[in-house]
């Protein structure tokens, strides 16, 4: 099997739309990806500064209330903090809406899917307070600009991003012999969390050739990576462990400690053969199948190695390899893919998609939680599960059915002709039972719901 | 995460379901009590995700090294047996301890070693296998237990909550539901959905189960059937409202207790938040509070059945013996397992204590494992359900050495 424009839009894009034609070739898709990020401009999501400036504001207010030592001031501060958090949460509903609008309106759907894939590969989440809304700004800033660059670029952007540093407890990790540890007992040593996940999840993979000693050494090398609300990312030399560290048999660093030492190690990890293998497998599993063909994984791995992780070159293999186009059952859509592709198929006008933050939460964000995907908040740093069976459990499935049957009518009370809708949403491969059900339903709303809930639409 | 094949659960129900036949009319989806379960005992397994710090939860305050390793903890625990003290956040469990309904097994671990990955660690814990099975895990140990129990019906075991549990996955039929889930569809929508799902067993079986279990729940809530678009929207929104507080540890435990009072014999769920890398003194109490609430809710809701119940709470690994640089602990090896329930011969901290001097630590960093956590789980299965020792050592927990009988039950 080779490139098929309908399958391409469903499997590698954001789904079919009655008003936007699918890309006609792999090179068409890649050239969109090479071009400007048009949708980010049209439906903006702020960078992480919005979170940092809220932190600065909050710290100043906290200081003020502490200094005043009066109960009224304390109450004012608590009130202000709550109000500011609420305001940010409501604002972030608009960012989520823009995430959906991008998927509904784009001709470059592969970019949206890749941004999600890498955001999941480099999972980070808020740790409380204003960081609770940090996920989308983090992705916008650290991931999205690099999705068609080199793997090493994303890795470096992520490992030095305040959101990741905060999430994996790097901020206060100090070398046991660092200047700060000698002066201040509060900074007494390492925190291994970021170093471990960089090796296990971000680069080599859990089966990769590293040991507990490598985790320790990388954690020592990482000392100094830190944040401040005013500056965002900071390299704090006082925290850095003196001397060189040996990771996977190679020495990095020395005195004085520099950020470039960390980058050197990240470059090597990013281009390590085990990383090539790990990333190749993850791409094939995410885009093609829970159990992808070995030939596909090997081709991806080979291209990754040959190009030292040039992602556009790797994607070219993904889009051109025959095993990517198998007509066998594709992956189950994750809730974000299901909701966004449903909306894309329904093609609402912009004013039909809820704009009120509370309505966005109620009708789009909460249902996704019930489907098992609380937006931006997976359970652990390994991100969302890929196995189809993890999403189609009775309790999660119930939420999909409930949304699919109820929401289209809510969104556009004048629904399209179901027979046409079925063809628009599923393309020429429309299965007979779905075609029949679209005709046999008692109401338009029921027919559209059944199409969206059919496995043919739920899979990619 | 390691992939495991998804196995169609309710095969026996769906195979004979004719194309397009009305669900409501099918005798196969009304809850049917098959042969009665072979035992009246109840088992609850709680997976504590993130790696619970055993040294903080059950503190060896009698050890001189402990005071050096964890200076802030040596003083303020609740005395258990003179040597060990309980984390103060679990103080509401002390009445259980005093009544002999609470045990701990210390310095236990799964066979997983050295790489200290949460995800592989949890897979090994839930699969009940040795490390050699990583990458080709097919099912969870609790499911293999069910397969060994003749006459168990589909609702004899419940996986509760929204998270996906390897522990109960496998060939034996298991019910999966969450107290915050619901499904209300018109009969016509049902028929059409069955039609479009018929050839995709994953979807077909999940919908059948969702329908059956939500019917049970709906009848206990007296909700009206859904007929039109507005009803459907209302049902979805009501569902959203329930979700806001639906998935708390207490609600999950209450739901599980309801099923155990009824036909279920086994329930499993998981609690998160034990990965305390940073400021553990603030982070761990929240996680322990959820564990305590779940246990106390089970106790109060189970009523007289509490006397036939054993709860096992297990985690993927313990944590470093020393603090790290940020007031937390990093991934370690041996930890503690908690057992509660009226069926227990409790009031004991079990295990061979390895000591905490530098040389006693595993790789000079973690509490040394002195017994396989699966040995305790194996003895518990033997006592609760009469499970054959040979089956335990070969199939349920391949390669486990059961060792001496800790005599867990009364």
So what's the pLDDT on residue B29? Answer: 29
| Phi, psi of B58, rounded to the nearest 5 degrees | -120, 100
Task: Check CB contact under 8 Å for B330 and A191.
Answer: yes
- The tokens describing A365, both together, are 């964000």
So what's the pLDDT on residue A103? Answer: 98
For residue B16, CA distances in Å to A26, B34, B155, B171 come to: 44, 18, 19, 18
Residues in chain B with CB shorter than 8 Å from the CB of A402 are 182-184, 232, 235-236, 239
Question: Which residue, among A402, A438, A441, A457, would best test binding to B if mutated, counting the most B CBs under 10 Å from its CB?
Answer: A402
Give CA–CA dist A95/B308, Å, rounded: 52
Which burial class, exposed, middle or buried, applies to A7 when counting CB atoms under 10 A from its CB (0-12, 13-18, 19+)? buried
Residues in chain B with CB shorter than 8 Å from the CB of A431 are 196
Instruction: List the one residue out of A227, A228, A172 whose CA is nearest residue A56.
Output: A228
Q: What is the mean pLDDT of residues A206-227?
A: 97
So what's the pLDDT on residue B33? Answer: 28
Give CA–CA dist A426/A98, Å, rounded: 24
Give CA–CA dist A321/A284, Å, rounded: 11
Is cis: bond before A256, omega within 30 of 0? yes
pLDDT (tens digit, 9 = 90+) per residue, B283-303? 999 999 999 999 999 999 999
Q: Point out the residue among B196, B326, B328 whose CB comes nearest to the CB of A454.
A: B196
Higher pLDDT, A224 or B171: A224
Residues in chain A with CB shorter than 8 Å from the CB of B243 are 366, 369-370
Number of residues written out for chain A: 460
User: DSSP letter at A322?
Assistant: G
Which burial class, exposed, middle or buried, applies to A305 when counting CB atoms under 10 A from its CB (0-12, 13-18, 19+)? middle
SS3 state at A355: coil
Residues in chain B with CB shorter than 8 Å from the CB of A206 are 115, 117, 119-120
Give CA–CA dist A68/A89, Å, rounded: 29
Question: What is the DSSP track for B104-123?
Answer: EEEEEE-S--SS--HHHHHH
User: DSSP letter at A332?
Assistant: B
pLDDT (tens digit, 9 = 90+) per residue, A347-381? 998 889 999 999 999 899 999 999 999 999 998 99
Within 10 A of A310 (CB to CB), how many other CB atoms are there?
A: 17
Question: Which residue, among B178, B233, B326, would best test binding to A if mutated, counting the most A CBs under 10 Å from its CB?
Answer: B326
How far is the alpha carbon of B229 from chain A, nearest alpha carbon, in Å?
6
pLDDT exceeds 80 at position A164: yes
Task: Check CB contact under 8 Å for A181 and B325.
Answer: yes
Q: Point out the residue among A169, A211, A436 whose CB comes nearest to the CB of B326.
A: A169
Residues in chain B with CB shorter than 8 Å from the CB of A432 are none
Average pLDDT across chain B, whole number: 86
Task: Check CB contact under 8 Å for B3 and A395.
Answer: no
So what's the pLDDT on residue B239? Answer: 65
SS3 state at A246: strand
Q: Cβ distance A180 to A174 under 8 Å?
A: yes
Give CA–CA dist B378/A4, Å, rounded: 53
pLDDT exceeds 70 at position B273: yes
pLDDT exceeds 70 at position B11: no
Question: What is the DSSP track for B320-354?
Answer: BSS--TTSS--B-S-EEEEEESTTB--SEEES---
Give the ranges where B42-117 is alpha helix by DSSP (H).
54-57, 64-69, 94-98
Q: What is the pTM of this model?
A: 0.86
Q: Cβ distance B4 to A387 under 8 Å?
A: yes
* Residue whose entry in the numeric block shows the structure tokens 């008003």: A19
So what's the pLDDT on residue B211? Answer: 87
Question: Residue A135 — pLDDT band, cuts 50, 70, 90?
Answer: very high
User: DSSP letter at B362?
Assistant: B
Q: Point out the residue among A192, A387, A406 whose CB comes nearest to the CB of B232.
A: A406
C-alpha Rg value of chain B to the nearest Å: 22
Q: What is the mean pLDDT of residues B241-245?
A: 58
Which helix or strand (DSSP H or E) is residue B101 part of?
none
Region of residue A214 (phi > 0: left; psi between -120 and 50: alpha; otherwise: beta): alpha
Cα A161 to its chain centre, rounded Å, is: 14
Q: Cβ distance B345 to B407 under 8 Å?
A: yes
């Amino acid at each position: 099997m080779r490139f098929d424009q309908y399958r391409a839009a469903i499997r590698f894009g954001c789904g079919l739309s009655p008003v936007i034609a699918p890309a006609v070739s792999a090179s068409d898709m890649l050239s969109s990806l090479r071009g400007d990020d048009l949708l980010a401009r049209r439906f903006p999501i702020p960078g992480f500064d919005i979170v940092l400036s809220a932190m600065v504001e909050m710290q100043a207010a906290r200081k003020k209330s502490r200094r005043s030592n009066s109960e009224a001031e304390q109450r004012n501060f608590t009130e202000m903090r709550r109000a500011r958090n609420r305001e940010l949460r409501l604002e972030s509903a608009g960012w989520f809406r823009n995430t959906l609008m991008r998927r509904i309106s784009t001709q470059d759907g592969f970019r949206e899917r890749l941004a999600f894939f890498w955001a999941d590969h480099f999972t980070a989440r808020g740790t409380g307070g204003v960081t609770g809304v940090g996920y989308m700004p983090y992705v916008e800033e650290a991931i999205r600009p690099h999705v068609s660059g080199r793997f090493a670029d994303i890795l470096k952007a992520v490992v030095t991003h305040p959101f990741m540093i905060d999430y994996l407890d790097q901020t206060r990790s100090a070398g046991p012999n660092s200047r700060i540890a000698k002066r201040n007992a509060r900074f007494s040593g390492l925190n291994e969390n970021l170093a471990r996940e960089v090796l296990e999840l971000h680069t080599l993979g859990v089966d990769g050739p590293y040991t507990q000693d490598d985790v320790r050494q990388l954690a020592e090398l990482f000392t100094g990576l830190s944040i401040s609300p005013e500056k965002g990312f900071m390299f704090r030399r006082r925290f850095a462990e003196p001397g060189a560290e040996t990771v996977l048999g190679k020495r990095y660093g020395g005195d004085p400690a520099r950020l470039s030492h960390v980058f050197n190690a990240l470059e090597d990890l990013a281009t390590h053969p085990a990383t090539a293998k790990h990333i190749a497998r993850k791409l094939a599993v995410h885009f093609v199948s829970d159990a992808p063909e070995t030939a596909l994984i090997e081709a991806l791995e080979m291209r990754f190695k040959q190009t030292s992780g040039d992602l556009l070159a790797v994607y070219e293999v993904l889009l051109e390899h025959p095993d990517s186009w198998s007509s066998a059952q594709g992956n189950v859509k994750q809730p974000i893919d299901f909701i966004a592709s449903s909306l894309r198929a329904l093609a609402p006008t912009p004013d039909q998609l809820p704009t009120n933050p509370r309505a966005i939460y109620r009708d789009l964000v909460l249902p996704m939680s019930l489907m098992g995907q609380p937006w931006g908040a997976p359970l652990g740093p390994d991100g969302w599960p890929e196995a189809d069976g993890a999403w189609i459990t009775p309790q999660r499935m119930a939420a999909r059915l409930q949304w699919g049957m109820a929401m289209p009518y809510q969104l556009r009370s004048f629904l399209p002709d179901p027979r046409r809708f079925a063809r628009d949403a599923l393309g020429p491969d429309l299965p007979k039972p779905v075609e029949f059900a679209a005709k046999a339903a008692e109401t338009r709303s029921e027919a559209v719901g059944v199409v969206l809930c059919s496995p043919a639409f739920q899979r990619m | 995460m390691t992939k495991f094949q998804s196995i169609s659960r309710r095969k026996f129900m769906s195979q004979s379901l004719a194309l397009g036949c009305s669900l409501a009319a099918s005798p196969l989806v009304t809850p049917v009590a098959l042969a009665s379960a072979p035992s009246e005992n109840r088992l609850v397994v709680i997976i504590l995700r993130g790696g619970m710090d055993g040294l903080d939860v059950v503190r060896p305050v009698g050890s001189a090294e402990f005071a050096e390793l964890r200076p802030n903890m040596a003083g303020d625990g609740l005395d258990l047996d003179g040597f060990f003290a309980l984390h103060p956040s679990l103080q509401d469990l002390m009445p259980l301890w005093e009544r002999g309904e609470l045990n701990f097994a210390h310095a236990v671990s799964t066979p997983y070693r050295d790489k200290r990955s949460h995800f592989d660690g949890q897979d090994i814990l839930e699969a009940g296998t040795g490390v050699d099975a990583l990458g080709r895990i097919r099912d969870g140990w609790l499911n293999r237990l069910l397969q060994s129990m003749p006459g168990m019906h589909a609702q004899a075991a419940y996986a509760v909550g929204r998270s996906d549990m390897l522990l109960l996955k496998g060939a034996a039929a298991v019910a999966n539901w969450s107290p915050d889930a619901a499904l209300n569809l018109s009969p016509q929508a049902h028929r059409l959905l069955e039609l479009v799902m018929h050839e995709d067993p994953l979807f077909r079986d999940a919908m059948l189960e969702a329908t059956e279990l939500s019917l049970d729940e709906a009848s206990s809530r007296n909700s009206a059937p859904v007929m039109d678009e507005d009803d459907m929207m209302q049902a979805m929104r009501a569902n959203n409202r329930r979700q806001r507080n639906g998935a708390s540890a207490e609600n999950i435990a209450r739901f599980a207790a309801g099923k155990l009072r009824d036909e279920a014999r086994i329930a499993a769920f998981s609690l998160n938040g034990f990965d305390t890398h940073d400021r553990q003194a603030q982070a761990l109490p929240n996680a322990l509070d959820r564990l305590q609430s779940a246990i106390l809710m089970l106790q109060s809701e189970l009523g007289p059945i509490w006397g036939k119940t054993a709860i096992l709470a297990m985690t993927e690994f313990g944590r470093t013996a020393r603090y790290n640089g940020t007031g937390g602990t990093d991934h370690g090896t041996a930890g503690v397992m908690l057992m509660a329930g009226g069926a227990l011969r409790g009031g004991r901290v079990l295990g061979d204590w390895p000591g905490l001097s530098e040389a006693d630590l595993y790789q000079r960093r973690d509490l040394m494992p002195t017994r396989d956590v699966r040995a305790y789980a194996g003895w518990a299965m033997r006592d609760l359900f009469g499970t054959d020792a040979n089956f335990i050592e070969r199939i349920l927990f391949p390669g486990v050495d059961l060792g001496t009988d800790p005599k867990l039950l009364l």
